Structure 1
Amino acid sequence: MARLWRWLREDVWEIRFRRYMALLLAAVVVAAAVWTGLVMTRVDHSCAPGVSHPEGSDDCVGVSATAYDFGRSRFTATVRAIDRENHRLKPGSYVTVALFLPFTASAPATLNDIQHQLQGAYLAQYQANHDTNDQSPAIRLVLANPGADGAHWQTVVDRLDAMAKGPDTLRAVTGIGQSTDSNKKALRALTRLGIPVIGTSITADDLANGQGGKDPYPGLARVSPTNTDEARALASFAQVSGGQALLVYDKPGDPYTRTLQDSFEKLLSGSRIAPQSFTPPADRTLDGTTGNQFRQIASVVCDTPKTVNTILFAGRHTQLRQLVNALGDRGCTDRRLTVLTGDEGSYLTGDTKLEPRALTRNLSVRYTALAHPDAWRKETAATGGGAADAKTLDDLITRSKGEPVGPIGQVALQDGQLIISYDAMRLAVQGLREATPNGRAVPPLAEVVNEWSFVKGSHRVNGASGWICLDGHGNPYDKAVPVVELTPSGGSRFVRIAWPEGKPPAKECLPPA
């Protein structure tokens, strides 16, 4: 009996021991799985050095100083060229410039814009580091992505601020791109931190200094005319009067469309023809149902007096394309119509959703481009720009097809984005170098900001897009505005350069008081 009892106790103990071991092993496995999951979660948050996923987003946001292309293969060649150039620089010999654009955007037109601005910025970086007699400091270029829709601008601004205060020696930000509310917030934050900003394609008046005599963005310089200047240039070109034009505008609009609308309304002061509004999706790169509104607006156009031959359009490119397609099917194709709009018209070059037939039905679409490759090949003005300045960029592009400059991928100039980005970086380089004290390698931020007031006269930038002479608020004075016409083939045709002042600037290029 004792032997049986001892056997039972040993058996029960062994069973319990095995159960305890099984539970312990299970706990270890679960803990390991949880730890692995946490590690994997941490790894998944990182896209590349300096770039990561914000909480709750799969976007890749941050500032990249490597060959990371943000998952966009069209950027790869240029990003690799930038990385090669950055690695060539010696520590202590350079300052950093950030190109601030939504590199993870998805809209094809926006990606084309970004690709071309990326190429233009790099070409100016290479030129500054190799073709300027070893002037210093050298230029290091990094890419700042606030997210596909710019929503994470604060994260990027914080990082850029840290780079300005640390060993990266960030001394300027260029790019910014479209005139959006997110970019407006980012611009305000950057300039309040004392970081100089050079806007490339921003044209909205409320993203410029000098409105009402105020400077809400201290340290901002721009290479593109404001919407008001574009509208003035259009008026001098087309001789638009109130009785001949109908305004079609985005309601409620955004910074770009609202200021373009205001500028057009001033041109049509006293007109008895009521303007027509449309309401697009919040994301203006989407078609939505706006096409239905434009079909009705096309009917209204036909109901206006026959003296109306011009439509002034204050809207983004997706809605412009929808309007053009609707006008192609209007009932009054016997009446000749011209659509005039701002630089968003450049996005329609190559837009596969644009109906080519519309442009063969007594309809033309003309827009104010930021730049155009044919402008200085055909323009005969004695001042305001020149063929030699444009040829400098053309030669650099030719060299970029192979080493050591490139390759940088397929280059396109029709939309003007490469040209204007190249000029913005050249303006940045001039400001950085002029602000660097003798015997110093790095200019103080405040001194760079002060340089914008000297970019005029003999210190102007002879840009590929035209002369850049800045007024006291950092805006280009009487900047050349190419007027361009869409062609049925999907391209564009240079028409003529127009001038905000009605004529080219004087050879001194000194803005008036």
Structure 2
Amino acid sequence: MLERLRRRLYWTPRQKLSTWIAVTALVAGLGWYGISELTEPEDRSCATGVARPAGTEECIGVNGDGYDFGVPGLAGVAGSIGRENAALKPGEYTTVAVLLPLTAVDGGTRVKVLHELQGAHAYQYRANHDSNSETPKIRLVLANSGKGNAHWETTTRQLATMTGAPDRLRAVSGVGTSSTEIRKAVTALTGAGIAVVGTTITADDIANGPSTGNPYPGLARVSPTNTDEARALAKFGRVDPAKALLVQDTRSGDHYTDTLKAAFAASLEGAPHEAQLFTSPADPTQEGTTANTFQQITHLICDTRAETVFFAGRHTQLRQFINALGARGCIDRSFTVLTGDEGSYLGSDELLNRKALKARLTVRYAALAHPDAWRPGPGREVPTTGGSVVAYTTFLDDLARTSQEPVPLADGQAIIAYDAMAMAVHAIRQATPRGSLYPALADVVTQWPQVKGSLRVQGASGWICLDNYGNPYNKAVPIVELAQDGSQRFVRIAWPEGEPPSASCLPPKQG
């Protein structure tokens, strides 16, 4: 106590001055630090061309340097793409972007995204190394539209700025979900004069056509429409409408579901019962409460004479419906569930009750591609038109050269993405004038009407012969059955027209 009093009484003026200066400096420093934190913007960059928009931690944008967008599962393929791009010389390439929800959180979409990137990269490698030195070479970039494609606008706006040097963006592939966000993205990209090749979009209303005109100038697709899928399924199954029933989602704005239920309803004209309805969550990858609804619907199905159930909905609700139908009361009766290409997700869905498939229940879906469709098997002949063993074998060779590990092919995603890149490269090189290094942007979008006949694309999923509106004509539709062990077993190829295309593969006149 006396010591503290002595120090207070005997502080010298110099000590007091030094202390004041030190305290003042400390306060000033803290003040400037606080001001700088408030006035200097936070660094939200993730990589070249990629940043975190305000209000989200997702890394959104476009990159071709090997960045994996914070998704470890994409590191291998992103790195391989980055190395291929780094080997290109300035001025010798054009760019193709793959637009996908790279930072999706649900497992099914993440698997789909990975396989699509692997397929796209396999064709990039072929285009740059095994095309008889054709030009231009192809730079591939990854474009992230975010979870649920919520950031489509940010990314498509960035893509629209990349059509000049040094990128010379000439096409966008991917755009693989038939959703409102993707429709807006396609509208924005084609409105900017950029060619778009849809991989797995099947909605009839995200397409050009004789009844709708050309709302998406420059859009082409490698997958059949939902209407063509439904026609192929109905002709394959020879379904009796009197013994069939439709189960459909009432949530509107989902272009896949909306057009699929319309196509199924047209196939079931004359069916005795009205459709059974359910409403999925706003985000259909979420579980919601639809499992409870399906438990009730299965009771009502048992009250009918139905043998075939057409299901129009997304894969999460499809899995819930199958699980419920496997535990139905009328277990003595057999049922077949027919659905669209969303059924391809079921093979990797860990929440699917495999025991349901042993309860006299058959689940079949119209796939976009399947590894057994174009290779011979016991008791199974490959069609002489509509596709080829050679094209599929070439795909396998290209995939093996670019992937360090085996790529699962049963979901068809790698196959269809490979074909979409083949389409994009075909259009880019066909539009390149002799003696030029690359085509004008406006010339690429005019190529689609000529992709037919001898100028068709020999896709790994089958021939791609486009009509004048950019839609594939009579495209092969593999019918796939979900086996009791959860594997995806190829049944056979079905055709929207009932039989394979002629050798000429020229679409008939429309309208």
Give the aligned partner of residue 342 of structure 2. Answer: 344
Partner of 1:384 in structure 2? 386
In the alignment, structure 2 segments of 5+ residues that lack a partner are 1-8
Distance apart, 1:67 and its partner CA? 1.1
Residue 111 of structure 1 aligns with which residue? 110
Q: Is the partner of 1:42 in helix, strand or coil? A: coil
Q: Equivalent residues in 2 for 1:61-460 (5 A)?
A: 61-210=60-209, 212-253=211-252, 254-305=254-305, 308-378=306-376, 379-398=381-400, 400=401, 405-407=402-404, 409-460=405-456
Residue-by-residue CA offset, 1:305-360 (whole Å, 9 max, x unaligned): 2xx10000000000000000000000111111000000000000121111111101
Taking the aligned partners of 1:145 and 1:37, their CA distance within structure 2 comes to: 30
- Taking the aligned partners of 1:136 and 1:234, their CA distance within structure 2 comes to 41
1:18-97 → structure 2 map (5 Å cutoff): 18-19=19-20, 22-35=23-36, 42-43=42-43, 45-97=44-96
Of 15-24 and 488-497, more deviation after overlay is shown by 15-24
Query: Which residue of 1 is the match for residue 482 of structure 2?
Result: 486
1:376 counterpart SS class = coil
Counterpart code for 1:295: Q
SS class of match (2:197): strand
Residues in 1 aligned to 2:495 and 2:203: alpha-carbon distance in whole angstroms = 18
Q: Look up the SS of the partner of 1:375 in the other structure.
A: coil
Aligned to 1:164, the other structure's residue is in SS state coil
How many Å separate the matches in 1 of 2:156 and 2:210? 25
2:409 partner letter: L
Distance change >3 Å, CA 504–CA 207, structure 1 → 2: same
Partners of 2:441 and 2:63 lie apart in 1 by 21
Q: Is the CA contact (8 Å cut-off) linking 1:61 and 1:146 kept in structure 2?
A: yes
Q: Distance in 2 between matches of 1:115 and 1:121?
A: 10
Contact 2:371 2:412 (C-alpha < 8 Å) held by counterparts: yes
CA distance in 2 between partners of 1:182 and 1:213 (Å): 20
User: Corresponding residue for 2:457?
Assistant: 461
How many Å separate the matches in 2 of 1:65 and 1:285? 29
Q: Deviations over 1:249-297 (max 9, x none)?
A: 0112411000000001111122221110101111111111110000001
Letter in structure 2 aligned against 1:471:
D
Secondary structure of the 1:127 match is: helix
Indicate the SS of the match to 1:57. coil
Q: Which amino acid aligns with 2:23?
A: A
Offset of 1:100 from its aligned partner?
0.2
Work out whether residues 479 and 493 of structure 2, in 8 Å CA contact, stay in contact via their aligned partners in 1: yes
Deviation at 1:19, TM superposition (A): 3.6
Q: Which amino acid aligns with 2:314?
A: R
* Partners of 1:317 and 1:82 in 2: CA distance: 30
Q: Identical aligned pairs, as a percentage? A: 53
Alpha-carbon distance, 1:396 to partner: 2.1
Q: What are the Cα deviations for residues 360-418 of structure 1, in whole angstroms up to 9, with x where unaligned?
A: 111000000000000011443211011111111122233x2xxxx442x4411000000
Q: C-alpha distance in 2, partners of 1:406/1:264?
A: 38
The residue matched to 2:163 in structure 1 has which SS?
helix
CA displacement 1:126-168 (0-9 Å, x = unmatched) = 0000011111000000000011121111111111111013421
